[in-house]
Structures are given as C-alpha cells and as structure tokens.
Structure 1
C-alpha cells in the first residue's frame, strides 16, 4: 500500500513511546530505520523496525567502555537499542582517530540496527575513512557445504569527497537474512541460489531454507571470514556457532585519519578524482556506470519527492500494532 512518509514516521514514533524508548533517542531510532526504507532496502527498513521494536524495552542502560588500549576500545552496550549503540560507537571511534590516527571500537551486548551505511558515512563526513561491520548467528555457509558456520557478516565503508561521501554497503551473503524472514511471513519465494536447505541444496522455499549463501565463491568466503575475525576474535567476542543470541553478536566500527598517513589536505580531492574516473567508465550497453551508493541515493530522492512509501499490507499492519503497544503480533 502507498502511505505518506509522515504518517509512517508518526506510527514509528508512537511505537517507540509505547516501548519506553528514551525521548532523546526516539528521532535517532526512527530516522535510522526510515532511511533504510527510503533507500529501498526494505528488509532493513520499516519491517526490521517492527521486528526489532519487540526488544526496545529490554535495554538495561547506556553503552559503556569496559576495556581500552591504544586505538582499540570495547563497549558493553548494556542491551541498548541498536542505532543508539552504533551512534555511541562511531563517536568513540572518531575521537580516538583524532587523537591517535585510528579508532577501532568493538561493541557487544546490543540490539541490532538496520542499514550500516549511515555510521560509515558519519565518519566520512568527519573526514575519516569509515568502516562498519557486524556478524550474526551462524546463519550462512559456502557453496558445496551444508553446515552454516559464518555470520552473514555485512560491511560498509565510506570516504569523503568534495561532495557527497562515496559509500559502499553490502552483505557478504547473496541476500540478507531479512529477506528470508519477510518471505516466511509473506509466503513469498526466495531469490534463486541465495539460500540452501539442510542438504546444502539451493531452495526458493523460505520454510526449507536453513542457511544464506556467501557471495563470490571462495573469494567471497575469504572476505566474509575476515569480517568474522574483525567482529569476533579481534575483540575476544564469540564467532560462528559461539554467537548464540543478539547479545553475543559482535560489531566493529573503525575510523582512520588520513592525516596520520601523510595525506594532509587532498584525501577528499583524490577520492573525487577517482569517482570522476568511474563516472567516465564505458559500458557495453551505454548505460551509466553504477557508482557504489548511487542507487540508494537516487531512491531516497525519488520517494522523498513523492512523500510516500510503498509498504506491504502485512508490514503496515505490524506497524499499526506496534504503535498501539502490541509487540507480539506478527
């Protein structure tokens, strides 16, 4: 159904108030999930807000640093709401980068957030190379295997340019787990060759799917494995089957100050020149070469101009229930 953005936002605000989200955090939480929706990443937008909101009332306090050494810091988020934990972490990473040249922050015991890109972009707008990653329960596997042993392990990175930051936001699985959850709720088929069943065979049936498939064959596996380590053992966090719940899921936020590497003034300019080169790349079909992040930004501009969101009826009903204080109905 086609719904006014302002109406969707008002329902999300009401849901936050119903679940006792601190007043100073409501806008941050709502705007975060609404951004995912306006970017066209529906599995990480309103639908994910409806899912995650059932945990909002479980927060135990504000995030706190429990260990630090040099550029590294570890934060116990005390089950804080995901976007609030992430905002806290990027600020620590930025402060350490200003002082030490790099800030590397691990976060655990937090609720989940939606898209990763806003946090990487926050760091880029402050002049840093920003990198954000997280793991999950062992929900993914590699082609030829039938046992899930990796998290879905998404990554986002962003760099400043002379205009908008260059932003990459991607899963290391062919489809995010949110696609599976929504397909189960809506009785929809899964994308082809993105999920496997108990025997390791590809399936489009959401009720037979057991694992998400890592992208890119053995090379994609190697990338996912690196992210697993950088959101796990680097900070002493659990990995693979050791990630038993939301609260044992690891997150990493990295800020790198280019001035410490000798790049004092031209980091954004150099990045802009690289973007210009990419914009001039020829394609076989004469269509513009796709720059990372361009599709999401175009989608935001489009739906913002229209002032409306196209939301499945089932998701809208769940949002209405959350705004009425029902965090159980699905």
Structure 2
C-alpha cells in the first residue's frame, strides 16, 4: 500500500488484529498543531499515546505495513504543522517514558553519578529536580522547553553546553525494524543540533552524567538562567530558536537576521520577534503557513545578503516545500 493510498481505518484495523485495546486508543483526525508550542496548524490523520514498548512496536508495525509516515511528539517545541494538517501517525509516550531515576545518596561533592531519564521528561523539570538534590551539569536544560527525547534527537544545547556533554547512551526503538537497542554516544553521532536519529527512531530513555555539588549553588545557577531567558528571549507562541548558528561560536543566526533589520518583520499573523531575531512569533489566532512563509523569507534574505544558507531547527509537517534545509528543517 503506497503512502497516498492508506487511510486512518487501515491503521486501526491493522492494530486491531494484535490489540483491540490499543486500537480503541487511536484518535483519528487528531489535533496536532495545538499540541506544539506554536499552538497553530492542523490535524494529524491518527494519534495515539502508547503505554508500553509492545504497543509502540504494534503501532510502528501497523504504520509500516500501511505505508504511513510516523512521528513522535514530545513537548511540541521545534515543531510546525501546516494549516492543512499532516497525513501520518503521531505517537506520544506519556507515562511510559515520563520518569527520572538518580541515586545521589551518600555521594560527596565532586563525585559523579548516572541519571536515568525517560524520553518524555521535560528538560526544565529534569534540571530543577537535579538542582534540588545538588546534581550539577544539567543547569542549562532549564532554558530549553523540550523533552529529553527531542534533546537527544537534535543534540539540544544552551548557555555553552549541549546534550553531548552529558549523555552516555540512549535506549532507542527502531519502528521500522521493530527493535529496541541501546545506542552509545558514538552511534548517536551527535553534531551541532543534529544526530543520526530519524522519525522512525523513538528515544525511550537516556543515561546522563552529572556530579554532586551544593544544592543552593546549583539552584542559584538554574534561577540565573531562567532570569536571563526571561530578559533576552520572548514568551508566547514560538518554538524557540528557529535557525542553527551557521558557524557555532562565531557566526550567530540571530545576529545575521538582526543586521538586516528584520526584527518585527511580519507576514500575516507571524513575525520575527522584536526581542530576539532568531525567534518567530505566531499570533494567538495565527496561521502556521504564515510562520512558514516568514521562515522562507528570512532564509532567502540572509542568503542573498550574506551567503549563509541558514539551516532550520524546526521539524516541518505537511508542507510541500522546505523552509530551511538540513536535519531539523526537512519536511515530514
């Protein structure tokens, strides 16, 4: 069955052969855009929250058999869904991957420990939880509004650190092959806002390194980052930084956009933030297609003026063309 022929009923029927309970949880014509931090955009053909690895593999098998695209959604940051929606199967993990395990009992200041964390855990939650028991090394995560799974997928970072500094390995489900494997950091191939993971890979959990510090000192660092973010980055409906810095540590995407005077540049219901040029804001009743058009226009203007072809951090669902090339910006 080709990707143009499958229907939601095909997914439900295929899953029903293995589990009527799981089939009953599948939502057809499911809200997708409003599950993202942009809170704009259309529907997914199907959506389901899985409760076990077995259910995850069933959904993966059904989608693969029907020729349906798959995607896993965490906290919905770095994601933009077309107003016309997305033909695919959207998976969320929920409690299956929403847990944290870290035993800091008896450890002295400076001693290392391993933190095990589910892929659905929000990065700010992990950062604050670790700070409360004095674990240092993950303070920067408080400023990144995504999940651990998303962080592994794109090697998220901020404030001079990134996930590759802390990760040991991750438990990955390959939905096409129907396998659960532990991927070491070398296999993950973490680059600047990129990895070897694709949409058919699901990050169930990750093991991270931390070390013991003073809870008061670590918590103060966390609050300093929160304060900095509020002062320098906009709130509201956005996905965080849109474009990857073309030369990390040297050439900033935000600075290039700023130099062209594009703060406040607006098309329809979307505009480049007046607070930070590498953020694109959507109005409360806005259109995802306007956000996409602003992305394309900014990319083209920067390329014409500077020669830098900006790569997007944003996963695009349901668009006919790509607003910005690269790992994050591929149309799904």
Same fold (TM over 0.5): no
Instruction: Identify, as 1 or 2, the structure richer in strand.
Output: 2
Instruction: Identify, as 1 or 2, the structure richer in helix.
Output: 1
Q: Which has the higher contact order (CA 8 A, sep 6+)?
A: 1
Length-normalised TM-score, structure 2: 0.32
Length-normalised TM-score, structure 1: 0.32
